[in-house]
Structure 1
Amino acid sequence: MAGASTVRSYLWPVLLTVLGGFLCTQIVPREIIAVNEHILGFPDTDISGHKLRPYLLGVLCMLPAIAAWIYRFSGILDRYMARQFLTSFALCMSALLAVMLLTDLQNNFSDFRDTENPMDVVISYYSILIPAVFVFLLPYVLLLALLYCLGKMSRHQEIVAMIQTGRGVFRIVLPLLFTGVFCSVVCLIFNYHWGPWSEGNKDLIIDVAKDGQADRARSVLYRDSDSRRVWLVGAFPYQFEKTGTLRNVTIREFNSGGHPTKKLEADVAQWSRVDKNWTFTGVQLIDLQASPVPIRIKTGDTVTRTWHETPWQLVKPGLDHTHLGIPDLNSWLRANEGIEWANRSPYLTQWHYRFAQPVICLITILIAAPLGIVFSRRGIGGGVAIALFLCVGMLFSSTFFLTFGEAGHMPPALSAWATNILFAVIALYLFNRRMAGRPIYQSLKKLLPSGE
């Protein structure tokens, strides 16, 4: 019997290891192909940063197996705590995910219905959306799952029983802190590229399915100080990095004194990878220095120019900073370093936020654990109310500081990490009071006006 029980205890770790290895063989090669295509379309991108993407997906595939092996060699109480929490986590994640997806499906149902293959579009749309949804929901799921799990165990006096075995509060919640670390790692991997990318590309799936085309960016202004040309690109088609085709392009050339000399308008502009030339179709060429008024220069419908600008250089000012992962943010910041007209604050703030946001998962656990553990029935509702209040405050604080950082009123690093620092201090204070056995809800209630 003991031997059979030991074999069964290794079953899940082994199965998850095999499953993780299988997923690596399916996902990692595809990501390598995607990285190579991206580098081909954007040769001045952060190549080393993008080449790290397949390795991160490999780590993501193996994280469940790593967690299963840690669970296998943990103590009995640790495994019991982990099982209770994972049950609550699965319940809360399923509920919130179902509500969010059903709400989103209701909002986009008419768009899905107008496509030729609605089911294929729905599958593609929500497959792309998963990383962004997961990153958004995870802190809230952790909060609700912890409050539910620890509140139930507190009501049943299980926490008191664990303390009577000689364990302190910190040792009891240590498996939960490990869970917070794992969730932070998962969020960090998604935040590296796939979360921001999915948020920026999900709507393009519907546009392509409905109209056959979609635009990655529109009305983008690009200044080239070396050639003294200013580009205004009306639209970057969805696959522009592969075709090199842009639409509704206007280019103004300036002399050394900063005065405009020529203006070129074209319906279509296409860049050739072979000879590095631009071919403009549907052209109007205007001499802006002609006196007394600008005149149109006679030319054919098609004009070719040997200019060094490339499509991926032109699109960078039009990329939304909230939809860029770490490698693309690195590329944008490097390309616009030292350029006075380039507003680097939003991009630099988002770069720091890509690393700061995953830590919120761990801070959420540090906040919820001391508030979820109570030693009387009266304290349960108060702890839940305080935790929810702090969660709302964390959401507001994050938006507040990010807005100030992107506007340039705060240092980017501070604005990205300010929420983490503030609520980490609050979490450590609450944790310290719980470990010392001091009341939390009643102490905070004394700080409020009595109303007398």
Structure 2
Amino acid sequence: MKLTIIDKYILKRYLATFAVMLLLFAPIGIIIDISEKINKMISNDVPVLKIAIYYYHFTIYFMNNLFPIFLFISVIWFTSKLANDTEIIAILSSGISFTRFMRPYIIGASIVCVLVMLMGFFVVPVSNEGYNNFRYTYLRSNGKELMRGDNTDVYRQISDNEFIYVNSFNNESQMAFNFSLEKFNKEKLEYKITASRIKWNPKDKTYSLYDYTKRIVGSEGDVIEKSPEKKMKFSFDLEDLAPVVYIAETLSLGELNAFIDKERKRGSSNINVYLVVLYKKYSVPVSAFILTIIAVSVSSMKRRGGMGVNLAIGIAVAFSFVFFDKIFGVLAEKSSFSPLLAVWLPNIVFGILAIYLLRNAKR
């Protein structure tokens, strides 16, 4: 497929405006975040290098979450300018159909879709981990709210008769606090292990338990074993100690698929949360096509109010898309609603809207 001069012109404007929009809003997001957290950073004596690394991860996290808005506004912006300068009228008057006029937009959306998808598979999980680690380590109250709603308590069944609990988890130090493990024989407690802290030792693949206590329940009396520090091997993985959303957001595509398979075998009650994260890795990039078509359909006509009207419509539609995306994602996580349908429903609804607007624009 050979690109014409018009194709290259529109494609260049598409990608350049989107890039400028990202570079314009990223510093604004950083400034707002700093203004909210500067007092806590100072009071916790956070090292400058840690702050710099955090804002690198924050930028990727911020752009990934709001890219549909930035893309939509950027397409609305430069297409409205083309319409106001009567460039679109000149292009269509030369015999080029509206469908043919859309080709460079679809090529641009394809490039953005592939880039966002690859970022979501491999780069964004690393940044999510760094972003969450910093917030939990240095901004504890906000970290708790981010990772698990009201608290960071993690309860998990690791086998048919074993259950673990931790009050909080720090992935950076690979340590969890207020740990307990209970093993049952049918419905009767066989023993319980508790520790104030549990730390993963990657060299020998063991766990160090601090303030270790083991209570073995017996018919003639309990046996209690205590130690200031004890190394042990367990059947659960380090990721089993992390909060639910925290795990899924920090895994690459292959790791997330393997993790979901393992949790399915365990009969995890949180499987919907993991599936929402997985399906969004595909649905969010695909939204680039839908939002591009809507943006072009809305802004390709020259309006009496100029670009302001188009931008107002664009911002309303973009925020509506993000709103529906978040609402249905939470619905799937908290109920029996199908995660696949919940994640793709905003694309389906706005896809129908895109087809309707495109037909009207062609007329």
Give me the TM-score of the superposition, normalised by structure 1.
Answer: 0.68
Deviation at 1:420, TM superposition (A): 0.6
Q: Which of the numbers 155, 159, 165 marks the counterpart of 1:225?
A: 159
What is the CA deviation profile of residues 60-83 of structure 1, one whole-angstrom value per residue up to 9, with x for unaligned ones?
xxxxxxxxxx9xx63222222234
Please give the alpha-carbon distance, in whole angstroms, between the structure 2 residues aligned to 1:80 and 1:313.
Answer: 48
Please give the alpha-carbon distance, in whole angstroms, between the structure 2 residues aligned to 1:400 and 1:388.
Answer: 18
Q: Which residue type is aligned with residue 65 of structure 2?
A: F
Q: Which residue type is aligned with residue 184 of structure 2?
A: F
SS in 2 for 1:395: helix
Q: Which of the numbers 96, 99, 102 marks the counterpart of 1:170?
A: 99
Q: Which of the numbers 422, 425, 440 marks the counterpart of 2:349?
A: 422
SS in 1 for 2:50: helix
- Where do 5+ consecutive residues of structure 2 fail to align? none
Q: Which residue type is aligned with residue 220 of structure 1?
A: V
After the TM superposition, which residues 76-115 of structure 1 pair with which residues of structure 2 at under 5 Å, given as runs?
A: 76-114=5-43
Q: Which residue type is aligned with residue 96 of structure 1?
A: F
Q: Which of the numbers 289, 311, 324 marks the counterpart of 1:362?
A: 289
Deviation at 1:430, TM superposition (A): 0.8
| Map of 2:235 onto structure 1 | 309
Q: Which residue type is aligned with residue 361 of structure 2?
A: R
Deviation at 1:376, TM superposition (A): 5.0
Please give the alpha-carbon distance, in whole angstroms, between the structure 1 residues aligned to 2:209 and 2:158.
Answer: 18
Please give the alpha-carbon distance, in whole angstroms, between the structure 1 residues aligned to 2:238 and 2:179.
Answer: 15
Alignment length (residue pairs): 355
Give me the TM-score of the superposition, normalised by structure 2.
Answer: 0.83
Q: Which of the numbers 249, 259, 263 marks the counterpart of 2:179?
A: 249
| Map of 1:10 onto structure 2 | none
- 1:379–1:428 Cα change, 3 Å: farther
Q: Which residue type is aligned with residue 259 of structure 1?
A: K
SS in 1 for 2:179: strand
Q: Which residue type is aligned with residue 340 of structure 2?
A: A
C-alpha contact (below 8 Å) 2:166/2:180 kept by paired residues: yes
C-alpha contact (below 8 Å) 1:262/1:286 kept by paired residues: yes
C-alpha contact (below 8 Å) 1:150/1:373 kept by paired residues: yes
1:159 is the counterpart of 2:88 = yes
When Rg is computed on C-alpha atoms for both structures, the one with the higher figure is: 1
SS in 2 for 1:357: helix
1:397 is the counterpart of 2:324 = yes
Deviation at 1:372, TM superposition (A): 0.7
Please give the alpha-carbon distance, in whole angstroms, between the structure 2 residues aligned to 1:151 and 1:237.
Answer: 48
After the TM superposition, which residues 409-448 of structure 1 pair with which residues of structure 2 at under 5 Å, given as runs?
A: 409-435=336-362, 437=363
Deviation at 1:391, TM superposition (A): 2.0
Q: Which of the numbers 301, 314, 335 marks the counterpart of 1:374?
A: 301
Please give the alpha-carbon distance, in whole angstroms, between the structure 2 residues aligned to 1:384 and 1:302.
Answer: 62
Q: Which residue type is aligned with residue 360 of structure 1?
A: S
- 1:303–1:84 Cα change, 3 Å: closer
Please give the alpha-carbon distance, in whole angstroms, between the structure 1 residues aligned to 2:353 and 2:110.
Answer: 19
Q: Which residue type is aligned with residue 241 of structure 2?
A: V
Please give the alpha-carbon distance, in whole angstroms, between the structure 2 residues aligned to 1:380 and 1:239.
Answer: 47
Larger RCO of the pair (alpha carbons < 8 Å, separation 6+): 2
Deviation at 1:264, TM superposition (A): 2.2
- 1:271–1:309 Cα change, 3 Å: farther
